[in-house]
Structure 1
Amino acid sequence: MPLSRPAVAAALPGIALALVIGIVASLAGRAVPVVGGPVPAVVLGALVGWLVRRRAHEDGRDGATAGAAGDLGVLQPGVKFASSRVLQAAVVLLGAQLSIGEVLRIGGETLPVMLTTLVVCLVAAWGIGRLLRVSGALRTLIGVGTGICGASAIAAVTPVIGAASAEVAYAMSTIFLCNIAAVFVFPVVGHALGLSQHAFGVFAGTAVNDTSSVVATATVYGRQATDTAVVVKLVRTLVIIPIVVGLAGLEARRTARTQPTPDTGERHAGGVRVLRLVPWFLFGFLVVVLLRTVGVLPADAAPGFAAVATFLVTVALAAIGLSTDFGALRRAGFRPMLLGIVLWVLVAGTSLGVQAALGQL
């Protein structure tokens, strides 16, 4: 949906700040190639965001404008745009490096890893969540967020299971913490284990929660790892459809047992929502892959698209860093955070274990 002129004007300050941080981070990445641009972008973004919030607090605006939800004031619209739309555009551009044959091959080869990590995550979320006395809705949100596609999965599942806003906030904060940690930890693990570009791409694509962090983590490791990770992650995202359908069915049965009232159309809302679960940038990515396959986009243009995509990822990660609300992470509480971290470690270990069992490492 195109932005109106007032919306564009409102977004410019935040976009400009994310762009400046992205440029600085990219220059730092060139100076230290082993680190790359995305990691400095997150760190600088988080530092600047903390300084902005602290300044707002000192100015007495924290209770009115920059207050409750870690708002960045006039920067907020642009930061939100950069952390979502800019990242999604980068994912679309990454499709210029792949053909349909490569997408099908990578998706088919990694399907056992994806399905195994998902099953392990959902079963562990149910069992460990109960042991930690985390509520049913919250452990479901953290489970699908960790096992499928982070915030997108949480947003899709929330109306189906009727989760409370506080539970959504806890789940989002937990997933966000693991996403940021993955950008730092996973490349170190990959180099320590001597993972190939392909193996690391599968590792990142199956074990990192959100699309933005998958792309950022793989970009730090290498271009081939990024290609693989994007395909794996986008195939993994499609799993959200049967999961939401299944949860909607379970909720409908439970509602029918407790409130056997005639259908009003509201109970079918979950089914209707399923049609809108696949993100637009997945279709955009596949369109660009198709254009590359039929030769509309020449192969020698792929490096240029990759460079632009990498820079857009860096800008998006700067915005995500700016969005980091340390107070919200602290308020999320110990048990949900522990559940998310345990699931994250389990999924990462399962991904590496299945790849080793299949002789793919």
Structure 2
Amino acid sequence: MKVLFSKTVYFLIISVALLGIINSTAALLLGFVYTLIFNNPFKAYSHKAIHYFLKISVVGLGFGMFIKETFETSKEGLNLTIYSIFLTVALGSLLTRVLKLDLKLGHLITSGTAICGGSAIAAISPVIRARSETISIALGIVFLLNSIALFVFPAVGHFLKLTQEQFGLWCAVAIHDTSSVVGAALGYGDEALRIATTVKLSRTLWIIPLSIVSMFLFKTKREKINIPYFIVLFIGAIIINSCHILPEPATHFIVLMAKRLLIITLFIVGSTISMKDLKSTGIKPIILALTVWIFISIFSLLYILN
């Protein structure tokens, strides 16, 4: 009976999110509170759902963008992307050795912070042959910081009176996962969301060179590199919208549904956060992740403001 009730509440929250009644921050918080009360009955499927829902949502958002604007936005964020990735990887590698952390764990946390959180960790972990326990710890820490970012970044953005352009760029660089980037930007404004999504996805392509570098660092040259193919679909959606192939009401509806699916995704992300898993990680990996994250957040913010 209790299991049936918990499942009913779960789908009720998803229905509310689909109707657009709650925002991204509330969805994440509801997910976390839900799993504390009921213990997520769908935990085994949650990470796969996040994986697919996020990609579908991002492709859907492409139907609200245009080629010229997207190209200009990607170009504007290129220098900051290059600087931030190189500095983050360098600092993370140094701190991993100073803290005497497992090199593969340190590399996964650093890679997740430098590029795109869980996606980077998922792509690089098979390349360096990381153990499942190491992957779980890295993912747990990144999910925790993503959750914090959803609350902190919009508050800081409003306090500093950042424009939508500034906030979108800052989110794309300083927040780990694409889901949290678009979640934070979603409530800040449509322009912030467009810029955050575009810059974050162009940043995601850096998974490929980082994976190649990782092969040489850990001497695993025959491993397969996971390429984020959904970015091609995202670009295809932008081209379709730019050529006005679909009527405007149709593209508006697709974008609206994509935004609501993102809110559902954030609820599922919240429902996967486990206090037990976080307690078992130890303090050193959290120190590494926090230090690198705070550094890249401050560096990117100062770069954007100046």
TM-score, structure 1 as length reference? 0.78
1:51 aligns with 2:43: no
1:93, CA displacement in angstroms?
Answer: 0.6
1:339 aligns with 2:300: no
CA distance in 2, matches of 1:280, 1:103: 18
Contact 2:65 2:238 in 1 (8 A): yes
SS of equivalent residue, structure 1 residue 145: helix
Matches within 5 A, 1:52-131: 52-53=38-39, 72-73=40-41, 75-131=42-98
Deviations 1:300-341 (Å, cap 9, x if unpaired)? 544433321221111111111111111101111111011111
CA distance in 2, matches of 1:196, 1:307: 23
1:78, CA displacement in angstroms?
Answer: 4.9
Contact 2:164 2:189 in 1 (8 A): yes
Deviations 1:228-273 (Å, cap 9, x if unpaired)? 1111110000001011111212333xxxxxxxxxxxxxx5532xx2
Question: What's the C-alpha RMSD, in Å, of the aligned pairs?
Answer: 2.2
1:160, CA displacement in angstroms?
Answer: 2.2
Contact 1:22 1:311 in 2 (8 A): no
Contact 1:97 1:299 in 2 (8 A): no
Contact 1:106 1:232 in 2 (8 A): yes
Please tell me the residue identity of whatever aligns with 1:46.
Answer: F
1:223 aligns with 2:190: yes
- Specify every segment of 5 or more residues in structure 2 that has no aligned partner in the other structure, as ranges: none
Contact 2:18 2:264 in 1 (8 A): no
Worse-matched range after superposition: 115-124 or 230-239: 115-124
Work out the number of aligned pairs and report it.
302
Residues 80/126 of structure 1: CA separation in 2 closer, same or farther (3 Å cut): closer
CA distance in 2, matches of 1:78, 1:15: 13
Identity of aligned residues (%): 31
Match of 1:269 among 222, 229, 247: 222
Residues 249/132 of structure 1: CA separation in 2 closer, same or farther (3 Å cut): closer
SS of equivalent residue, structure 2 residue 169: helix
Contact 2:205 2:228 in 1 (8 A): no
The corresponding residue for 2:13 is 21
1:50, CA displacement in angstroms?
Answer: 1.6
CA distance in 2, matches of 1:352, 1:97: 27
Residues 107/164 of structure 1: CA separation in 2 closer, same or farther (3 Å cut): same
CA distance in 2, matches of 1:229, 1:210: 11
Contact 2:18 2:261 in 1 (8 A): no
Deviations 1:202-222 (Å, cap 9, x if unpaired)? 011111101111111111211
Residues 353/299 of structure 1: CA separation in 2 closer, same or farther (3 Å cut): farther
The corresponding residue for 1:39 is 25
Please tell me the residue identity of whatever aligns with 2:163.
Answer: S
CA distance in 1, matches of 2:276, 2:34: 15
SS of equivalent residue, structure 1 residue 278: coil
Please tell me the residue identity of whatever aligns with 2:128.
Answer: I
SS of equivalent residue, structure 2 residue 115: helix
Contact 1:41 1:317 in 2 (8 A): yes
Contact 1:18 1:318 in 2 (8 A): no
Residues 156/228 of structure 1: CA separation in 2 closer, same or farther (3 Å cut): same
1:174 aligns with 2:158: no
- Specify every segment of 5 or more residues in structure 1 that has no aligned partner in the other structure, as ranges: 1-12, 31-35, 54-71, 253-266
Contact 2:182 2:193 in 1 (8 A): yes
CA distance in 2, matches of 1:234, 1:17: 33
Match of 1:241 among 208, 211, 226: 208
Contact 1:116 1:350 in 2 (8 A): no
Residues 113/353 of structure 1: CA separation in 2 closer, same or farther (3 Å cut): same
1:317 aligns with 2:303: no
CA distance in 2, matches of 1:326, 1:299: 45
Residues 278/20 of structure 1: CA separation in 2 closer, same or farther (3 Å cut): farther
Contact 2:128 2:215 in 1 (8 A): yes
The corresponding residue for 2:160 is 193
CA distance in 2, matches of 1:19, 1:231: 31
1:280, CA displacement in angstroms?
Answer: 3.5
CA distance in 1, matches of 2:44, 2:229: 20
CA distance in 1, matches of 2:95, 2:217: 21
1:281, CA displacement in angstroms?
Answer: 2.5
Contact 1:97 1:289 in 2 (8 A): yes
Please tell me the residue identity of whatever aligns with 2:102.
Answer: S
TM-score, structure 2 as length reference? 0.91
CA distance in 2, matches of 1:323, 1:200: 27
1:89, CA displacement in angstroms?
Answer: 1.1
Contact 1:18 1:79 in 2 (8 A): no
